[in-house]
Structure 1
Amino acid sequence: MSNEYHHVLVAVDLTKDSHKVLERAIPIARRNQAKLSIIHTLEPLGFAYGGDIPMDLTSIQDQLDEHATQRLADISDPYDIPREDQHIVVGMPDTEIQRFAKEHDVDLIVVGSHGRHGFALLLGSTSTGVLHGAECDVLAVRVGKDGETEE
């Protein structure tokens, strides 16, 4: 009997909902004896400000990267995910998650989804972007509730 999945990638946003997404992905990885990786994507500060800032944002971006790395470790370590399987990448979330999945032979991406409807779904959902561009299976885990605030 062959296992359905060999490499599961969990995409997290570093909020409290990250644990919910991991708790859905871990049993799938274990059942399939699959490698489990976790990823968080930082958008470059130049994207957020349209690239028109007349100053060097390198040190601020480095601080954000350090903070994200520590936060990802805080989320991953209780689940015994090795540091070499914890990844921080910089870029547009859906694109970078898809790129990572393709480059690392991921066959299942697990991502949180707030279950938005209508225009909110069309205009900003990372999970929707991942779903439409991924070359592998995608599991969207419903997290949060409408109107619920993040940590």
Structure 2
Amino acid sequence: MSDYKKMLVAIDLTEEAPQVLNKAKAMSQAHGAELMLIHVVEPVGYAYGGDIPMDLTELQDQLDKAAHEQLAGYGEQYGVNTDSQIVTVGRPESEIHRLAKEHGVDLIIVGSHGRKGFQLLLGSTANGVLHGTECDVLAVRIN
């Protein structure tokens, strides 16, 4: 196994996030690597397909603020400094790829639900991250 120097942990801020974070923290300590935490907030318009003729800016801002607060809590709990905590808006796979490239990440760590069947081995986000990245990806199975 190669030495990793910078690890990006993409979390979804659910109750399952600590499972991914615990594994990521152990990996970063074992390799002496810097840990980055990221969360991607999907644009509210995606959920409605852009069919609702209303300004969703306030809702988007509330989601963004809540994500920053939650990520900061995890950052404090897992010893990740604020400069290495990123909340961004966009498509999760694309943003994870972009941030990994921008920050020279060696390893991306994501959570994956262990569903039945070969095609459901990885969730859609984990699968999207795996296909299209230029570095290693660790999918942590979420129980």
TM-score (norm. length: structure 2): 0.91
Could you tell me which residue of structure 2 aligns to residue 10 of structure 1?
A: 9
CA contact (8 A) 1:121 1:128 kept: no
Matched, 1:74 2:61: no
**1:1-151 alignment, distance < 5 Å:** 4-118=3-117, 121=120, 125-144=124-143
Deviations 1:107-128 (A, max 9, x none): 1001000022448728952111
Deviations 1:71-109 (A, max 9, x none): 112222111111111111111111111111011100100
Deviations 1:28-63 (A, max 9, x none): 212222111000111101111111221111111001
Superposition RMSD on alpha carbons, in Å? 1.9
Identity %: 56
Cα distance 1:45–1:123, how it changes in 2: closer, same or farther (>3 A)? Answer: farther
Moved over 6 A (4+): none
Unpaired stretches in structure 2, ≥5 consecutive residues: none
Unpaired stretches in structure 1, ≥5 consecutive residues: 145-151
| Equivalences, count | 142
TM-score (norm. length: structure 1): 0.87
SS in 1 for 2:128: helix
